[in-house]
Amino acid sequence: MKKQNNGFKIGCIVLFLGLTIYYLFPTVQWNLEQRHMASMTENERVQYESENIAKHQRLQERSLSLGLDLQGGMYVTLEVGTPQLILELAGDFADDYLEDVISTAAETAFDQNTNFIDEFVAEFERRDPDAMLSRYYRSDAENITRRSTNSEIASYLRNQQNAAVERAIEIIRSRVDRFGVTEPGILQQGSNRIVVELPGVDDEERVRDLLRGTARLEFRLTPESDEINNVKQQFTNYFNQLEEEADTLDENGVKNLLEIFDLRGPTQYSFGYAAARDTSDVNRIMEKEEVQNLIPGNMTLLWSASPFAEDNGIGLYEMIAVRSQIELTGDVISEARVAFDPNTNAPEVSMTMDSEGARRWARITGANIGRPVAIVLDERVYSYPTVRSQINNGRSSISGIGGVQEAEDLVNILMSGALPAPLDIIEERTVGASLGEASIRAGLYSVMFGLGVVAIFMIVYYRTGGGIADIALMLNIIFILGILAGFQATLTLPGIAGIVLTIGMAVDANVLIFDRIREELRGGKTLRAAIDNGYANAMSAIIDANVTTFFVAVILYSFGVGPIKGFAVTLMAGIVASLFSAIVITRVIVDYLTREKTAIVSFG
């Protein structure tokens, strides 16, 4: 009977060990590949990577993933722009009074670290206790009508905020997946914040654009050139007059606009241009009320997405005049892909519209032949091609793109969808690769030190039995890594702490078993009988201790975030592996060593 049981146990050990090796093998292969590529020159490495793209992608997907704290990367906290969302929900009902209430509430919420929506409702009621928020908000889907109370409106706004955060998380996850990050962490924090962890990412600016890009694609017409020239003339007269009347100049130097901004522009539809370093100063001047009064209400001035020329290595950006009215939005885009201009081979984004968008696009292009249509994405003009003929197939393209990488990012953003509200980066941390390597070394040393101390103690105290426990302990660590790789979990620095803790827990089971065996031997029982009774009597204590700890790990995983989850995952894997090692592996080895009556096995 015992042989049959041991045969089953040996089969389980072989199966478990085989699965562990299977799941860890890609990790070993990938590390060997990285060492091999590190010895190459830059050109050799680029060529080698291009020839083995599929292989490397497969190995990366199946390898044991390292967390942000081990391989470096970016940690970003985003905040959903609730004030902008609340203003947009008002739609056409919004006015200057509502904007002022929202602005005041936003400042109060920021200064006092309180909930914006609560401050918004309180500020609205403080100004006029009898005023009704239903004056601004309607929703047939949420049953919000003219008779809805302020508390009902507040509940509606909170629901919209929650929905916006959930939608933003889905869009960010889609963008990050298309970006190619392995095992990203995307979590909601509080009511309107999102934490994003991107292991292995080092292109900070590209990640910022990827996460913050709202993907608000708009098609707008441009004003007539005569109208643009008239506004230019008003600007010229106004700033020349300011320069003559020196006493009217403020300390910010409004007069300097004409010195840093050229009103000629590269085309007749340009309002002007400025060097990259001066665009922020131009924006500051343009935002002044007296300057805004010079611009017609049906005209909007937007910067180009990329420079149209360079001056001594400095990019020159064009300010383009477009109509305030939006003719078509990106909601109609059903497909987007990277393409190349057949004449210049420059990268562009080719877009295909759905049936409704194609119908409207045909109407817009048919009615504006000979006029430019500006393609605007996130308040930046990518191009404003002139319509040559009516477009009936619903196709268009975005040109003026800096490179293939930017085109790929634009496709990513467009296909992931537009964010329901702006996202602001309120915290950003970058973990360098060298810091990650230092963490790996520290974690490895801690595991080796803990393993060494425990192994020496077990041999000194339990002699042969301690050596058996040490063999099971080393296999236990391999099993833990195999479980993490098999379930595509991420190994983090807290996870390594979980492995160190598991080392102690793994020998704890053997301590219980070996001490019971020693008690049985002192009671005069034979070695075989002592071993059988020792394993049987210690089993209940082992199961109770490990099961309760496993439940604690489940709770930590369910309610914890970030590092706590990493610790919980490793702890659960360690408990499963240690139970298997202590109950199965050590018993098989002990049975093998005591199969002969003359066998000498010491338990201290």
DSSP string spanning 97-148? HHHHHHHHHHHHHHHHT--HHHHHHHHHHHH-TT--GGGT--BTTTTB-TT-
Note the pLDDT tens digit of each residue in 523-567.
Answer: 888 878 888 888 888 888 888 888 888 898 888 888 776 667 778
CA dist., res. 153 & res. 145, Å (int): 9
Strands 314-323 and 270-275: antiparallel
Note the pLDDT tens digit of each residue in 347-366.
Answer: 888 888 888 888 998 999 88
- CB 364, CB 391: distance < 8 Å: no
- CB 298, CB 224: distance < 8 Å: no
User: Which residue ranges make up each domain of the chain?
Assistant: 77-214+426-431, 218-417, 434-593
CATH ID of 218-417, from 3.30.1360.200, 3.90.420.10, 3.40.1160.10, 3.40.50.970? 3.30.1360.200
CA 190, 198, 61: angle at the middle one, nearest 5? Answer: 125
pLDDT given for residue 3 in this prediction: 44
State how far the alpha carbon of 451 is from the alpha carbons of 60, 196, 232, 472, 477, in Å: 29, 34, 77, 12, 10
CA dist., res. 11 & res. 18, Å (int): 10
CA 253, 279, 203: angle at the middle one, nearest 5? Answer: 140
Taking 70 as the pLDDT cut, the residues of the chain under it are: 1-5, 42, 46, 50, 68, 177-183, 202-203, 212-215, 243-256, 400, 402, 413-419, 431-437, 439, 561-563, 596-604
CATH number of 434-593: 1.20.1640.10
As given in the structure block, the two tokens for residue 188 are 């909601």
DSSP bridge partners of 381: 304, 376
CA dist., res. 414 & res. 410, Å (int): 6
322 C-beta neighbours (distance < 10 Å), count: 24
CA dist., res. 58 & res. 64, Å (int): 12
CA dist., res. 516 & res. 457, Å (int): 18
- CB 459, CB 603: distance < 8 Å: no
Helix (H) / strand (E) element for 274: namely strand 270-275
pLDDT given for residue 273 in this prediction: 92
